[in-house]
Structure 1
Amino acid sequence: MSIRCVVLSLLLCIVPMTAAAQSESTRLRALGVEPGLFEPGPLNAITDVAGVQVGHRTLREGDAVRTGVTTIRPHGGDLFREKVPAAVHVGNGFGKAAGFLQVRELGTIETPVVLTNTLDVGTAVDATVAWTLDRPGHEDVGSVNAVVGETNDGYLNDIRGQHVTGEDVIGAIESASGGPVAEGSVGAGTGTSALGWKGGIGTSSRLLPDEYGGYTVGALVQANYGGVLRIDGVPVGERLGRYDFRSVVEGEGDSETQGPDDAGSCMIVLATDAPVSPRTLERMAKRAMLGLARTGSYASNGSGDFVVAFSTQNRRAGEDVPRPDSLLPNDQMSPLFLATVEATEEAVYNALTAATTVTGRDGHTQVALPLDRLRSLLRDAGRLDANE
């Protein structure tokens, strides 16, 4: 490890940081693997959907605070006044999501989507509401539907301490920007674990060919769930000896693997520039669970798997008269469905390959997926050239 990396690691242990302070990370495609049929967008990130912004606030303090906040803004304008079409899908409802019922009822999102840990959902709601009320021109606003998702990072983080503050949430919202997205052990993914390894934040995108409209679909995940890891169809978890129920299948399990077999959850945020309705966005959101399944998830009992999907087209600006919308018909949705599955799948892989080994609460350590061993497995399976 270089001197620079050592110094940075020490600093991360004692101070909160934003995405800009993250070190460079490795993504799956940097290893030579290109999963899926459709090509990614230029950044291979949710921010390939024009106008979408992502912000992080990462908390690494002392020996036990390993948590944070990640925010997704559908556009950089006044989201409350220019609501975007949206939908939600609950794959498995073991979670504490906020704001989903109104999104399902009205089909719009009016705040940034905020991700954090389970016990700081209340703080995130309060801060998001306060931030929205404080915007210029909102003096008459008397109701705000904050959309907040969570996963439980209590294996690595002192979750009972509820260390996320309103300032952290607002900082993540206001730091959100387009461009490359920091991944791995950052923001709401700082203390997460996935599929036996250190999890985190991951993102990916797919650009449809022109004959299918040329639309973009982007996904961002907060990966924190169990299962039997598969990467591009290769049974990586079994080959590396880390997977749910290993203690039953093979005998003694790996003590470094997080707690119970079915621990954890996954938040998925989808964005597209396709002109689709809330009903159709819900259909896309359902397909995101198929992408999760490709990675080895079986949506276990304790896994709260939630999807928030929105389109940047056909914004609602408070019209008080009917208005026509240009919407894709159902028979043109299949390419978007496949793009959703592929972007969700690769977002999880990027969360895993970008993550760093983290030690936190009570000395618990969650190790990062070993990329050298991963390369070997993928090469043996024919997913990489012999020279990769």
Structure 2
Amino acid sequence: MRNQNLAKLAELIRQQNAELMHLWRNKVQRVSVVRNLDTPEAASHIAALLEDVAAALLKGKNKPLVTLPVDEATEVHGLQRFHQGFNLIEVVADYNALREAIQEFAEANQITVTGRVRAILDRVLDKAIGVAVQTYSEQKALEIQRQREEHLSFIVHDLKTPLSAVSTAAIILDRTLSGQCKNERVTRMLEIVQRNTERLHGLISRVIQEQTTVQRTGAESVFAARVEKRHFDLWPLIEELIQDLQPLTEPKRIRVTNDVPPDRSIFADPVLIGQVFQNLLSNAIEYTTDGDIVIGSAVSERDRTVRCWVRDTGKGIPEERLGKVFDKLETDPEKEEGRGLGLAIVKQVVEAHGGLITVVSQLGSGTKFEFTLPLQDPTGAPMERGNGTAA
């Protein structure tokens, strides 16, 4: 009897397809957005899905449910519904309307939708809903990403003008300040302003270039598309960074030490590695009010890497947050202005170099971030000294 019901319902679905489609249309009109679609557009996926159900009913007489196929039309449908302006609730309601229609259609033909008939029907439609929702969600995520990138491009473009104004103002101040006013400290601060505005100009130009590269190549990660490795000396990069962030340390009783060996040369992208250290060092300064911050490195000859770290004696990170500090949008709940991007960027940059980053911390005692970088070119070229600059 069970197999007879499966075969009978499958045959009726194929023979009375138009009647079943009409029943579905009446039900799906409850979904407001469907009322704005013409009939072919609204029902484009249903014919294939009904054939899916009929085939599954016939095959389901002897096959386990997990082996029953689902037509690719559901993936196409999920994409269609995204472009047609559906939300997720409406996508699911679309399929549930078909579920109700088949139920009523079967009962009108003296077929009880229970047991294996119900299991097969639910399996096909639930899988269809899953595929359609997944496709819809992926498209929605891509759309949001596109909007964010577009917004970022506007912001980056608009930053160029005020940044140029700051740079020009610093140059004018440097030239017009009298000798009495222009003491050593003022001179150093003007140099910091100039150096950081030049760095920001470089980052802005690079962001614009990288957006174009990612769009053209389809790279999943901006950092994977833009890593430009070369040998360079690490000590001067750290030293310059410490000087540039000195205005942040002056109001506090903090000692920042560059413990990187003067002859340490690494094979990496100096601009991106500068971003890594800047993020780690600025975090250490923010969470340390009195104590020491040490930036260091050591060579591991066994795996041909150089370990780099930033260690502070600050407030530390609660244990429950340690596993999430590198997640995007994960912020310190005590910092309202945080965006949760700094450490996520650090992790992406390190991994784009083929390295790993870890963190250990203890509340009240401090935190240590440590990551690995290549010691030399992976092609086997001998390690060369950099030119003594920070790039």
The structure, 1 or 2, with the larger RCO (C-alpha pairs under 8 Å, 6+ apart) is: 1
TM-score with structure 2 setting the length: 0.21
TM-score with structure 1 setting the length: 0.21
Structure with more helix by fraction: 2
Greater Cα radius of gyration, structure 1 or 2: 2
